[in-house]
Amino acid sequence: MSITWNYENFDAAVTSANSSYMNILADVLPSFIDGASDSTVPVLSLPSTTVDLSEIAAHASRIRATSEDVLVLGVGGSSLGGQALIRACGPYSDDHPKVTFLDNLAPVGFPHLLSTLNPGHTHIIAISKSGGTIDTHAQLALAMKWLQEAHCELKDHITVITEPKPSALTKLADLHDLPRLGHSILLGGRYSVLSNVGLLPAAIAGVDIARVRAGAKAVIEQMISAKSIIDIPAAVGAAHIISQHKQNKINISVMLPYADRLSKFGEWYCQLWAESLGKEGVGTTPVIALGPLDQHSQLQLYMEGTRDKSYSFITIDRVDDPAMHLPQTLSDIGMGSLTGLTLHDIVTAMSEGTRHALVETGQPVRHAHLSALNEENIGALFMHFFLETLFGGALLGVDPYSQPGVERCKILAKEFLEKLK
């Protein structure tokens, strides 16, 4: 695991050993350390767990053996983590099934997708923590109908991940004898990427899930062994971001990964941060801006718009691929300065230019640099932001595990559906 952090235009006093912010975090740190060895806090204890990996691997092997396509049905936390893992750690060879996440209801797109697939070589993974998610059940009902019309045995083509308690999904699994994995009751969906929810689809796609856990474990071990709270990168990050929110009205947190394969990671972060900390009238709004793409769409606002944002850059070490060196022919059209450079060189120059330009305007900017895009570093990055979010909850005085606003919306949606019948 190799991730370095750098902060510019943040108040250094906020993360000094005797600051009020770090004192609050020092007070909650013992409970975090206890949670790392306590199965009742799985978001902190999962990184050190290995006993479940063999079961996940066995199910992945079973599904890979008969499948060309795997469709993952789930929304939000049941989907984004797995997508982020596969996107960040791939691409993979053609001997793995194509894993597609159907995380949004699409009245036209979903039937069209099914029409392009061979049901005999397609597997469905239905994920719902509660077992009663409307979106997932609607998609699953149509997928089951599609499989049955093709005379497929449902238990050979559907796997369910849900809490081990009575629900519509457990009832369906029992009715059709579907393979079922338990979703931890104590683990919220947005915190579930290191569980079977994220790791099963990732393992099917070829991700080394043991290395993902190892990367996350390294972050936990760093927290446990830290001599001071200021030696924990996630605590420092939370203190900086929340202090800017409280003291300077910096209410928007922009994540700027300069790696196309981290686009889904940015979406995962947005859900984690927003759903965990946006409550009781506090919280910052997370925004994903993919570099260098969004330099051409959002950067003007960031440079000269309202000063209400902080920025988190993520960059990757240079990978020298001789095949990607730009050819001499560019000189023929007056672009000779690019000759011999790689695409990575250009992306690096753009990220550095953008970062320094924002710093020059006096805006708070931080920079995470990864030695490589691999399973250990991605697992570590997931764990860093888990911890940063939990520390952020302590500083804001909110419960980072609850989501009362979301639950109210679900109740009202069900009431409106009843009226449509």
Q: Could you read off the pLDDT of 196-217 as tens digits, one per residue? A: 999 999 999 999 999 999 999 9
- Looking at the fold, whether 151 and 286 belong to one and the same domain comes out as no
406 with 31: CB under 8 angstroms?
no
- Looking at the fold, whether 22 and 153 belong to one and the same domain comes out as no
On whether residue 97 sits in a domain, the answer given is yes
* pLDDT at 190 (0 to 100): 95
On whether residue 372 sits in a domain, the answer given is yes
* pLDDT at 253 (0 to 100): 96
- Looking at the fold, whether 250 and 298 belong to one and the same domain comes out as yes
Residues with Cβ within 8 Å of 72's Cβ and at least 6 positions away in sequence, in order, are 79, 82, 99, 100, 101, 102, 103, 125, 127, 201
Average pLDDT over residues 303-324: 88
- Looking at the fold, whether 168 and 239 belong to one and the same domain comes out as no
- Looking at the fold, whether 63 and 155 belong to one and the same domain comes out as yes
In one-letter notation, the amino acid at residue 142 is L
- Looking at the fold, whether 117 and 22 belong to one and the same domain comes out as no
- Looking at the fold, whether 186 and 244 belong to one and the same domain comes out as no
155 given a catalytic annotation? no
275 given a catalytic annotation? yes
On whether residue 337 sits in a domain, the answer given is yes
On whether residue 410 sits in a domain, the answer given is no
- Classified as helix, coil or strand, 279 is strand
- Looking at the fold, whether 233 and 298 belong to one and the same domain comes out as yes
CATH code, 92: 3.40.50.10490
Average pLDDT over residues 182-195: 95
Annotated active-site residue in 129, 183, 217, 275: 275
Q: Which range of residues forms the domain containing residue 73?
A: 47-210
pLDDT in tens, 135-165: 999 999 999 999 999 999 999 999 999 999 9
Closest CA to 4 of 253, 302, 236: 236
Handedness of CA 66, 70, 73, 76 (dihedral sign): positive
- Looking at the fold, whether 30 and 52 belong to one and the same domain comes out as no
In the predicted model, what is the mean pLDDT of the chain? 92
Annotated active-site residue in 112, 151, 296, 419: 296
pLDDT in tens, 72-116: 999 999 999 999 999 999 766 667 899 999 998 888 888 899 999
What does residue 195 show for φ and ψ, rounded to 5 degrees?
Answer: -100, -170
- Looking at the fold, whether 141 and 281 belong to one and the same domain comes out as no
On whether residue 215 sits in a domain, the answer given is no
Work out how many domains the chain is built from and give that number.
Answer: 2
* pLDDT at 177 (0 to 100): 97
Q: Strand pairing partners for 366?
A: 7, 312
- Looking at the fold, whether 191 and 230 belong to one and the same domain comes out as no
- Looking at the fold, whether 77 and 154 belong to one and the same domain comes out as yes
On whether residue 352 sits in a domain, the answer given is yes
